[in-house]
Structure 1
Amino acid sequence: MGHGGNVIDELMTDHREVEEFFGRIEALPSGHKDRKLYADQATMELVRHSVAEEAYLYPAVREHVANGDAMADRELEDHAKAEQIMKDLEGCDADDPEFDRLIGMLMSEIRAHVADEEQNLFPMLRASCPPDALDKLGDKVRQAKKVAPTRPHPAAPDKPPANKLLAPGAGLVDRVRDALSGRGKAD
């Protein structure tokens, strides 16, 4: 969380981190307890990442990219699908029969979303947005991830200004819950 660089570099580094968690999950046998640990860690990173994208990246896409409204709306739909899967996954242990189905759905959804962003949205944004604006967006995204929720909240607003107002409070509550429960930490 918080890697430096412009918004595209920051978000692509997040993508690699989540893929690393997915690889760890895939390397373990079905039912292994560490699959839940890695799923929780991936979820925590994905939620922070999504909140930051919704607060800063997609408004920039709407402003700078041709047909940006449609692109941002499609990305928000992807986020909504993934967030619901993460919410369903939150209630499953690694040995729950639903766990494998849900984590497979999540990995497929996120991998398709990442490929679309990296092959289409990011190059278009890089071509249409001034470099200094991309750098400033990177700083804003890093700040947003520091206070963002760590748990999925499918009913929460996903567009400014409401998301920027509510995310820090939800983030604080989530981090307290994570600290008390040990969520995302190895035994």
Structure 2
Amino acid sequence: MGVAERRDQPHSGYPGHMADDVITLLHRQHAQIRSLFAQVETTTGDEREDAWHELVRLLSIHETAEEEIVHPAVKRVDGGEPVVEARVAEEHRAKELLSTMDRIGPDAEGFDTLLVQLRDDVLAHADHEEQSEFPLLREVYDQERLERMAKAVEAAEAIAPTRPHPGVESPVANLALGPVVAVVDKARDAIRKVLG
């Protein structure tokens, strides 16, 4: 199933599809991100470009939602502050690389080398979240709260930027700038779709 076909179908990891709880939702998004990296690495032409744009979109909205919902919740947990600080630093580095790659495009010279670096960084980041952040959430918050957090993540994703914006890693910055930047990003997405 191609990227364009998937976009029209509700499934885990995308706004509009309710997960059991925030941890389940984010695990599913991590799986989708892994799959999209594989597609970008193994396809060419329009299929590769479509997979790349879908990967950029998913990474951008995923990180925005984590910054607005997950990180603040983990920070409130005893011992959570250093865990979040490490994840935010990883996210910032990945956003900078993703932003550069989005500007040059998947056909540019050197893109494949950057893609390997981005993939390794993002997947290591996802593993760190799954090993250090998610257990803290599960330990401290009850199922009802985790389900409400999933709804909040999906709401945040609905207004999140669809492109990387390094330097906008705080919840306040995301809430203040996110909707404006998202409108610009979504306009660019619509133009790209029309122009092919």
TM-score (norm 1): 0.90
Does 143-152 or 20-29 show the bigger shift? 20-29
Are 2:164 and 1:175 equivalent residues in the alignment? no
In structure 1, the residue corresponding to 2:76 is in which secondary structure? helix
Query: Letter of the aligned partner of 2:150 in structure 1?
Result: G
1:39 touches 1:103 (CA, 8 Å); kept in 2?
Answer: no
Are 2:43 and 1:28 equivalent residues in the alignment? yes
Instruction: Give the aligned partner of residue 95 of structure 2.
Output: 83
Distance in 2, Cα, partners of 1:160 & 1:93: 29
Runs of 4+ in 1 over 6 A off after TM superposition: none
Are 2:152 and 1:140 equivalent residues in the alignment? yes
1:143-154 aligned within 5 A = 143-154=155-166
Are 2:23 and 1:8 equivalent residues in the alignment? yes
Query: Letter of the aligned partner of 1:146 in structure 2?
Result: A
**TM-aligned CA distance change 1:95 to 1:162, over 3 Å:** closer
Q: Runs of 5+ in structure 1 lacking a partner?
A: none
**TM-aligned CA distance change 1:100 to 1:33, over 3 Å:** farther
Measured after TM superposition, the shift of residue 102 of structure 1 is: 1.2
Instruction: Give the aligned partner of residue 165 of structure 1.
Output: 176
Query: Letter of the aligned partner of 1:110 in structure 2?
Result: V
Instruction: Give the aligned partner of residue 46 of structure 1.
Output: 59
Are 2:131 and 1:119 equivalent residues in the alignment? yes
Distance in 2, Cα, partners of 1:14 & 1:173: 24
2:80 touches 2:136 (CA, 8 Å); kept in 1?
Answer: no
Q: Percent identity?
A: 29
* CA displacement, residues 18-56 of structure 1 (integer Å, 9 cap, x when unaligned): 111111122236xx4533321221110000000000001
Distance in 1, Cα, partners of 2:81 & 2:142: 19
Measured after TM superposition, the shift of residue 120 of structure 1 is: 2.3
Does 32-41 or 97-106 show the bigger shift? 32-41
1:7 touches 1:141 (CA, 8 Å); kept in 2?
Answer: yes
**TM-aligned CA distance change 1:95 to 1:181, over 3 Å:** closer
Does 42-51 or 3-12 show the bigger shift? 3-12
Query: Letter of the aligned partner of 2:37 in structure 1?
Result: F
Higher relative contact order (CA 8 A, sep 6+): 1
Query: Letter of the aligned partner of 2:21 in structure 1?
Result: N
